[in-house]
Amino acid sequence: MSVLVYVEQVDGKFKKSVFEAVSYAKSIADQQSTNLTAISIGNVDESELKTLGQYGASKVLNVSNEQLQHFVNQAYASVITEAAKKENADIIVLSNSFSGKGLAPRIAVKLKAGLVDGATELPKIDGGKFTVKKSAFSGKAFATVEISSAIKVIALNPNAFGVKESGAEAVIETFSPEVKSTDLAAIVKEIVRATNKVSLPDAEIVVSGGRGLKGPENWGMIEELANLLGAATACSKPVSDADWRPHSEHVGQTGIAISPNLYIAIGISGAIQHLAGVSSSKVIVVINKDPEAPFFKVADYGIVGDAFEIVPKLIEALKAHKG
């Protein structure tokens, strides 16, 4: 028995959400008194792979097969499954990222394993029952789910667990499983990634704008505030529906569900569908000119006022704060 964690690389680097997944998997390995192995697929330098040791991986399987440079979930799922068999792993952990969502279910089927997607806490083992808590109903509730299969797959929500350093040394081992050509039927043609922006699903701070901002031309101040905070930008559904902002920024029940440390909602009324996707944020700040806006009911801090006056003042205050 052992725990296996898949560490997703982006351009040869690991993001914070990966270190979180490794820290989480390490805590599970400790719970089970067993070892943690990580598996990395694609071109990653030895020095970057070594960093996984700090978070508790005692071994890293490094797959750098030419055919696997781009993420193809079918092929990656086969490789991770082979690794799980080789390591005799009975718990497999991934980040609940966009790629993780396409990968975890395929691994689960290959291993006849139950999957909990969007885990928010460490598993509990009680009277032989293995349960994991996850968010459900778009953040309106949590569900504690029992996994009854011998092998278990868990996809951890970003920002749910935090990073814990445990400072082990990681041994790096080359792993070269056979890749079936039928697993490579999907062909990646192009990857477009804005490198200068914080990505929304795993951002620690999110600045979000709603219809109260009147039009796309007014987003300059939202972006400036976000830049100063190292935050990602988001928006309400009508804003992306009107093409003021891209769909990828739309948060809520039918958009992305997020749980940053700080969510700043500007000119957003706080409709139930919007709240669904953001209410698990740790701290919520609302700026709205209407004191009756429902968003204030779920906010930690608020300012009743005109965004066009408040936001520039906030920007000034932040600049002063930063010195």
Ligand X SMILES: Cc1cc2nc3c(=O)[nH]c(=O)nc-3n(C[C@H](O)[C@H](O)[C@H](O)COP(=O)(O)OP(=O)(O)OC[C@H]3O[C@@H](n4cnc5c(N)ncnc54)[C@H](O)[C@@H]3O)c2cc1C
CB of 221 to ligand X, least distance (A): 11
* Residue from the set 38, 274, 281, 299 that interacts with ligand X by CB under 6 A: 274
* Residue from the set 80, 205, 277, 284 that interacts with ligand X by CB under 6 A: 277
Q: Per rule CB under 8 A, is residue 40 in the interface with another protein? A: no
Please, what is the Cα angle at 197 between 196 and 203, to 5 degrees? 140
Q: Per rule CB under 6 A, is residue 36 in the interface with ligand X? A: no
Task: Give the residue with the Cβ less far from another protein, 46 or 190.
Answer: 190
CA dist 218 and 44 (Å) reads 41
CA dist 252 and 166 (Å) reads 35
What are the residues whose beta carbons fall under 8 Å from the beta carbon of 256, sequence distance 6 or more? Answer: 200, 201, 234, 248, 250, 277
Q: Per rule CB under 8 A, is residue 283 in the interface with another protein? A: yes
- Joined together, the tokens standing for residue 269 give 């009324």
Q: Per rule CB under 6 A, is residue 139 in the interface with ligand X? A: no
CB of 316 to ligand X, least distance (A): 17
Residues 75-114 that bind another protein (CB under 8 A): 77, 97-99, 101-106, 108-110, 112-114
CB of 265 to another protein, least distance (A): 12
Q: Per rule CB under 6 A, is residue 114 in the interface with ligand X? A: no
Q: Per rule CB under 6 A, is residue 308 in the interface with ligand X? A: yes
Q: Per rule CB under 6 A, is residue 100 in the interface with ligand X? A: no
Q: Give which of 16, 255, 238, 288 is closest to 139, Cα–Cα.
A: 255
What are the residues whose beta carbons fall under 8 Å from the beta carbon of 118, sequence distance 6 or more? Answer: 96, 134, 135, 136, 155, 157
CA dist 42 and 186 (Å) reads 17
φ, ψ dihedrals at 36, nearest 5°: -110, 125
Candidates 7-15, 57-65, 177-185, 208-216; binding stretch for ligand X (CB under 6 A): 208-216
Residues 125-144 that bind another protein (CB under 8 A): 129, 131, 134-144
Please, what is the Cα angle at 320 between 318 and 323, to 5 degrees? 110
Q: Per rule CB under 8 A, is residue 304 in the interface with another protein? A: yes
